[in-house]
Amino acid sequence: MRTGIATVCLSGTLREKMQACAIAGFDGIEIFEQDLVTSPLSPEDVRKMAADLGLTLDLYQPFRDFDSVPNELLAANLRRAEAKFRLMSRLGTDTMLVCSNVATASIDDDGLRAEQLAALAARAGDHSVKVAYEALAWGKYVNDYEHAHRLVETVDHPNLGTCLDSFHILSRDWDTAPIESFNPGKIFFVQVADAPKLSMDVLSWSRHYRVFPGEGQFELAKFLGHVVRAGYTGPVSLEVFNDVFRQSDVERTAVDAMRSLIWLEEQSAKWLDAHPSAEYGAGSAAPGRRRYPMELATLPQVAEPAGFNFAEVRAADTAGLETLLGQLGFTSNGRHRTKNVQLWTMGHARVIINEDSTQESRDAGAGAAPAISALGFDVESPVIAAARAQQLKAPAVPRKSQADEEIFQGFAAPDSTEIFLCQGRPDGTAAWTREFGEGLEAPAAGRTGEQGTVIDHVNLAQPWQHFDEAVLFYTSALALEPQPYAEVASPTGLVRSQVMLTRDRGVRLVLNLAPLIQRGGAASGTDAPAATGQRPGYQEHIAFAVDDLVATARAAKARGLDFLQIPANYYEDLDARFGLDPDFLATLRELNLLYDRDADGEFLHFYTATVGSVFFEMVERRGAYDGYGAPNAPVRHAVQYDHLHQRNPTT
Amino acid sequence: MRTGIATVCLSGTLREKMQACAIAGFDGIEIFEQDLVTSPLSPEDVRKMAADLGLTLDLYQPFRDFDSVPNELLAANLRRAEAKFRLMSRLGTDTMLVCSNVATASIDDDGLRAEQLAALAARAGDHSVKVAYEALAWGKYVNDYEHAHRLVETVDHPNLGTCLDSFHILSRDWDTAPIESFNPGKIFFVQVADAPKLSMDVLSWSRHYRVFPGEGQFELAKFLGHVVRAGYTGPVSLEVFNDVFRQSDVERTAVDAMRSLIWLEEQSAKWLDAHPSAEYGAGSAAPGRRRYPMELATLPQVAEPAGFNFAEVRAADTAGLETLLGQLGFTSNGRHRTKNVQLWTMGHARVIINEDSTQESRDAGAGAAPAISALGFDVESPVIAAARAQQLKAPAVPRKSQADEEIFQGFAAPDSTEIFLCQGRPDGTAAWTREFGEGLEAPAAGRTGEQGTVIDHVNLAQPWQHFDEAVLFYTSALALEPQPYAEVASPTGLVRSQVMLTRDRGVRLVLNLAPLIQRGGAASGTDAPAATGQRPGYQEHIAFAVDDLVATARAAKARGLDFLQIPANYYEDLDARFGLDPDFLATLRELNLLYDRDADGEFLHFYTATVGSVFFEMVERRGAYDGYGAPNAPVRHAVQYDHLHQRNPTT
């Protein structure tokens, strides 16, 4: 599959965009007119630069307001088009995108449209240029891709074809199956964009909220499957208008974009495999049947991870973490034999405390405060999973190891958390724990009733400019599935909370997009977003599931745990909502436990105080409860905010 | 008019919100349940605190999922309600908001609904509580305020009334006139919120995009006028769910909120004056007719400003500014006789250079780079205008003056620009210029054809968390009118551009909401928003209108002006779009002029290079052109970005 991207997807100047596309590995780009018009590079400069970077210039776009006009405007339109055709020949680009008319359209007559498009195709022919006519979703008269295609068929000129853009098609819920019957020679270009399903006017939706494939909710594998079935072999090119991507680092966004196409290519191959046609075989493994003209590359296949292998917290001063874990019921298993890391366990839950004493960390100052630094996942084959991640352009992180120590394959997530791929074992043990001493592989036998403890979920705060990237990253590299997101009120704004999980719930990862100001501002008394460094309020946590939360909480209380203090008002509200047994309510109140209930079951949980940017949660799931106590999240945020501000609660 | 605000409008804890509301001058507040549930303050604490702060607790809200349920759920609902009634009596609040049912509604039967509401009213009566039933715009069966009112009339219980919320009514485009015929005794509460007109699902619109009155597009003066005509005398209370307000400084947002009610009160009085009824007189000036039961306060009345009196730029090193102004054709008129400020004039355009050599500024470092610091406006009566601004809670700024020097009334705009109110003169001169020397009052006679020069517009960058506040501020305090906003592409994201102007275009102010990262990030090579201090990329400018731009540009070129260099590609595109006369095009290209044309006229303009965060623009308006060359804005942004990055344009 030939990959492409429109320059409008990225931030920066045309030069920066082109360089970033080359680094990310795209085959070609679409020149968005405004990027050229505003550039000091001449068309010849751009042509040479593209050649030097190994990029083809696949499309020049957009050309607007052409069809459906009174014929007296046609001459001016053709003059305008010819100026662009001449420009294109200097650029060395042979295809121009013509959008269906929005602004100047005044005549709804397919005959006239065909005539006007024929005139344009003739001029294009004179300049050896091809015109790809696209139905905008909000086109005044032409807003359906089949309509655009019919016009192309009617004109039947070698220099006129159509452009299929997934957004314009899927935002209108048009059926994509008819694409299969299109003459592939008339499909001049294919653009792909994903989007979250929003109920708003389609123009605003398109201009601001498009995302890269895999970051939204469109059925793109199916769309592209139909395109492949039609016999199309040209570029598959991203055209994503997104307010955030336009602002974020250009090289990083280009990699995110490339990852989305690699993932889409794989998903489309899978869709084709699952939907074989009589004529064509399934993907590349098609004995006895024709192969699709477009080659779709595949990736190393991995199953979803079975569970968390460990979570790692890094700190210069580890005392606070040690105290909390000890009080929660974790057992300290001492230091690693060669590294400055400690292993703490409770049942199958393993927490590594990384004693961060590097000069770098000391210099950073804030970096030294406790923070979640790494997560280990149990996978079937770490090597295959790492190969897949690598092909998906995940940046590798090396795990320094001595001889005879286990080597972890690892890579960095978009929020900088290090992700390690570990060899899962059916009994939930981990071989590497040997490196901390003998006999640690078995679950900590320690306290009664705690053998079953596991990491239930991990909650990571996400920088706002990399949220969508993170969703695609965990979807594609780690086979987690994004759930519909929730929004939770906090004293510093709404927190968007995106759950990513495996089908059997072995892994639950919660990505929190905090309000802007919470990233440093509110806590430090200003309302400006912080640049880098310490992120008070930007709290993350690890949650452990136990069998008997009340017992765990009682034991933790006896050990002097610093619970997050839940306001009395909460319990009154809880009682009003659920009418709880008075003894049970008294227990909840006594132990600072939170409670939720739904049709599937019940949820009990408590939080610890925060050290640095980390806190811990203990949960008990009763019945088939599958949530995270979202109705209680505002209480947590408010109390944490209050603590952070160290306000006296009653004057 | 009794003013109120729901705590959900503001950031912070319940304590912080209440304090901010008291400081901003609200009469009362609505307790949003979640704010109480998450608070360590007991209901008794809240009651005492409100009393100490002089705030009434006017409403407890929301109570959801009540009506339209099968009768077997009624008992649980009533139990839940009674728990809240008991809580309210501890709080000392006597009115509870009950929203029409969304989630658990399953029976569409007005008879059943009336029965259930009657049961609720009876229980409420037992607790001396009033229930205000509100039709949510997205209520499952009840989503029309007249429907809710009919149910209230049917039940006819002294403890059941209705709540009118402007958002739920105006978002659905319901006619507001029928409110006038409501029994005022049955209107238990009135909530107001404004909103921009967005075509999206009403729930998302309501949850994220409500704004304070005057910051959106709803006809709130009319809405409130009808409410006043009905005879309502209770609180008019803000209920505004807004993603930004939830994040921004609580005290500042509370003042913004209070300003919106003061403004709305005045606007409603004006609406009533303009729509007298047979029964009632016009506002307070109603000889021989009844006064409305609700008293509406008025503000000192001001006409819109006639023009800019001056613009002030502050800098530690003023050399760059002096050079630019001199090259543009401005005349230096020396220093003020007592202050370290210079006066530069060109025709009627006056620019003050404030030589900022304070220790504060030196410490700030970045503060010393040239920046627009103040704007003077010509008004009919500076004292009346200042009184109005004061009553609208604009923070006053003193202008230090010696004896016999003119005293300016001034206040600070939301973006910290100082706004000064000057005595306008019909001939466009300014008395204070005498303080720089004799004979400066007349327009600078200097160069031919430049006497007509005026400040055409000023473009100010706005911090994202104060954009809506700025719109209301300039609307209410300075009588400018907001226009529909545009969005302009830049290398670091879309820039929202909001024009505020007077009817005769004497004042044009452009508020630019820059992308987040442009606020320091992109320019400094990181992609994190900057906290404070230097704001590269965050550029602002002053534009001057001249009669003959080509002559002005030629003269400036001869003086060696550092023009913003416009790419050759721009002129090719311009030619393709407009088919310009070759000589004219050559002139544009030679002088780095930009061009725009629409049905009303033509626009020629050029920009200078930037010093600090300031640059200048020269414009010529031909015909009735009323815009700002928006199609050219992306070129300006791209070239400025390139300069900022000091990239070599051709390698």
pLDDT digits (tens, 9 = 90+) for A139-174: 999 999 999 999 999 999 999 999 999 999 999 999
Q: Position A258: which residue type?
A: M
Subunit contact A516:B526, Cβ cutoff 8 A:
no
Q: Do B73 and B139 reside in the same domain of the chain?
A: yes
A635 closest CB neighbour out of B38, B493, B530? B38
Do residues B603 and B597 make contact, with C-beta atoms less than 8 angstroms apart?
A: yes
Distance, CA of B651 to CA of A45 (rounded, Å): 9
B575-600 confidence digits (pLDDT tens): 999 999 999 999 999 999 999 999 99
Distance, CA of B409 to CA of B393 (rounded, Å): 14
Element (H, E) at A18: helix A14-24
Span A453-465, average pLDDT: 93
A13 closest CB neighbour out of B38, B530, B641? B641
pLDDT number for residue B444: 53
Q: Do A630 and A551 reside in the same domain of the chain?
A: yes
Distance, CA of B642 to CA of B536 (rounded, Å): 12
Inter-chain Cβ pairs, chain A and chain B, closer than 8 A = 218
Q: In the numeric block, which tokens belong to residue B33?
A: 């349940």
A320-371 confidence digits (pLDDT tens): 999 999 999 999 998 998 889 999 999 999 999 999 876 665 555 555 688 9
Subunit contact B249:A527, Cβ cutoff 8 A:
yes
B16: nearest CA partner in chain A: A491
Chain A positions touching B206 (Cβ under 8 A) are none
Which of B48, B78, B569, B641 is the best mutation test for A, with the most CBs of A within 10 A?
Answer: B569
Chain A positions touching B521 (Cβ under 8 A) are 531
Last residue of one domain, picked from the residues B216, B250, B274: B274
DSSP 8-state assignment for residue A389: H
B38 closest CB neighbour out of A246, A579, A634? A634
Distance, CA of B550 to CA of B451 (rounded, Å): 16
Span B550-568, average pLDDT: 97
Q: How far is CA A215 from CA A261, A418, A553, in A?
A: 11, 21, 39
pLDDT number for residue A17: 98
Q: Do B512 and B587 reside in the same domain of the chain?
A: yes
A514: nearest CA partner in chain B: B247
Q: Quick one: B609 exposed, middle or buried, by C-beta within 10 A (0-12, 13-18, 19+)? A: middle
Q: Do A239 and A359 reside in the same domain of the chain?
A: no
Domain that includes residue B438, residue range: 307-644
Distance, CA of B350 to CA of B26 (rounded, Å): 41
User: Is a pLDDT exceeding 80 seen at residue B646?
Assistant: no
Domain-embedded: residue A637: yes
Q: Do A47 and A110 reside in the same domain of the chain?
A: yes
Q: Quick one: A529 exposed, middle or buried, by C-beta within 10 A (0-12, 13-18, 19+)? A: buried
A517: nearest CA partner in chain B: B247
Give how far A256 is from chain B: nearest CA, Å. Answer: 16
Do residues B615 and B541 make contact, with C-beta atoms less than 8 angstroms apart?
A: yes
Q: What is the average pLDDT value for chain B, to the nearest integer?
A: 90
Query: What order of strands is seen across the sheet that includes strand A307-315?
Result: A331-335, A341-346, A349-355, A307-315, A371-379, A418-423, A409-412
Give how far A510 is from chain B: nearest CA, Å. Answer: 21
Last residue of one domain, picked from the residues A259, A274, A289: A274
Confidence of residue B647 (pLDDT cuts 50, 70, 90): very low
Q: How far is CA B283 from CA B3, B227, B274, B291, in A?
A: 18, 14, 9, 7
How many structural domains are present in chain A? 2
pLDDT number for residue A428: 79
Q: How far is CA B105 from CA B67, B98, B532, in A?
A: 7, 14, 49
Domain-embedded: residue B314: yes
Rounded to 5 degrees, what angle do the CA atoms A453, A459, A465 make?
Answer: 160
B526: nearest CA partner in chain A: A249
A131-143 confidence digits (pLDDT tens): 999 999 999 999 9
Distance, CA of B322 to CA of B314 (rounded, Å): 12
pLDDT number for residue A537: 45
pLDDT number for residue A464: 85
Subunit contact A13:B517, Cβ cutoff 8 A:
no
User: Is a pLDDT exceeding 60 seen at residue A651?
Assistant: no
Q: Do B576 and B622 reside in the same domain of the chain?
A: yes
Do residues A584 and A538 make contact, with C-beta atoms less than 8 angstroms apart?
A: no
Q: How many CA atoms lie within 13 A of B411 on its CB side?
A: 22
Q: Do A269 and A311 reside in the same domain of the chain?
A: no
**Domain CATH code at residue B367:** 3.10.180.10
Distance, CA of A614 to CA of B31 (rounded, Å): 32
Q: Position B421: which residue type?
A: L
User: Is a pLDDT exceeding 50 seen at residue B466?
Assistant: yes
Domain-embedded: residue B43: yes
A304-315 confidence digits (pLDDT tens): 999 999 999 999
**Domain CATH code at residue B191:** 3.20.20.150
Q: Position A199: which residue type?
A: S
Sign of the torsion formed by the C-alpha atoms of A533, A534, A539 and A545 = positive
Distance, CA of B244 to CA of B83 (rounded, Å): 33
B530 closest CB neighbour out of A531, A635, A642? A531
Does the annotation list B239 as a binding residue?
yes
Q: Do A252 and A332 reside in the same domain of the chain?
A: no
Element (H, E) at B19: helix B14-24
* Beta strand ranges found along A356-491 (DSSP E): 371-379, 409-412, 418-423, 454-462, 481-482, 486-490
Neighbours of B116 (CB within 10 A): 24
> Which segments of B479-567 does DSSP mark as H helices, in order?
521-524, 549-558
Q: In the numeric block, which tokens belong to residue A98?
A: 């013509």
pLDDT number for residue B622: 98
Span B529-539, average pLDDT: 44
Give how far A86 is from chain B: nearest CA, Å. Answer: 11
Q: At what angle do helices B145-155 and B110-126 cross, to 10 degrees?
A: 60
B643 closest CA partner among B621, B600, B610, B595:
B610
Which of B19, B37, B61, B513 is the best mutation test for A, with the most CBs of A within 10 A?
Answer: B37
pLDDT number for residue B6: 98
Sign of the torsion formed by the C-alpha atoms of A541, A544, A550 and A553 = negative
User: Is a pLDDT exceeding 50 seen at residue B445?
Assistant: no
Mean pLDDT lowest for which of A417-421, B283-287, B557-561, B565-569?
Answer: B283-287
Confidence of residue A534 (pLDDT cuts 50, 70, 90): very low
pLDDT number for residue A356: 81
Domain-embedded: residue B249: yes
Element (H, E) at B150: helix B145-155
Neighbours of A469 (CB within 10 A): 27
B456 closest CA partner among B605, B304, B635, B341:
B605
pLDDT number for residue B440: 72
Span A27-35, average pLDDT: 98
User: Is a pLDDT exceeding 60 seen at residue B301?
Assistant: yes
DSSP 8-state assignment for residue B319: H
Q: Do A322 and A264 reside in the same domain of the chain?
A: no
Do residues A444 and A452 make contact, with C-beta atoms less than 8 angstroms apart?
A: no
A340 closest CA partner among A306, A312, A320, A360:
A312
Q: Do A313 and A257 reside in the same domain of the chain?
A: no
Confidence of residue B191 (pLDDT cuts 50, 70, 90): very high
Domain-embedded: residue B299: no
Distance, CA of A313 to CA of B95 (rounded, Å): 49
B81: nearest CA partner in chain A: A576
Does the annotation list A134 as a binding residue?
yes
Distance, CA of B635 to CA of B593 (rounded, Å): 12
DSSP B198-212: --B-HHHHHHHB-B-
> Which segments of A408-565 does DSSP mark as H helices, in order?
467-478, 521-524, 549-558
A200 closest CB neighbour out of B39, B200, B568? B200
Give how far A290 is from chain B: nearest CA, Å. Answer: 46
Q: Do A260 and A329 reside in the same domain of the chain?
A: no
Q: In the numeric block, which tokens belong to residue A580?
A: 């709880």
Q: In the numeric block, which tokens belong to residue B411?
A: 């206040």
- Looking up tokens 């123009």, which residue turns up? A203
pLDDT number for residue B403: 66
Domain-embedded: residue B291: no
Confidence of residue A444 (pLDDT cuts 50, 70, 90): low
Domain-embedded: residue B281: no
Q: Do B96 and B222 reside in the same domain of the chain?
A: yes
A487-522 confidence digits (pLDDT tens): 999 999 999 999 999 999 999 999 998 777 543 333
Domain-embedded: residue A93: yes
Distance, CA of A602 to CA of A619 (rounded, Å): 11
Strand B614-623 with B601-607, pairing: antiparallel
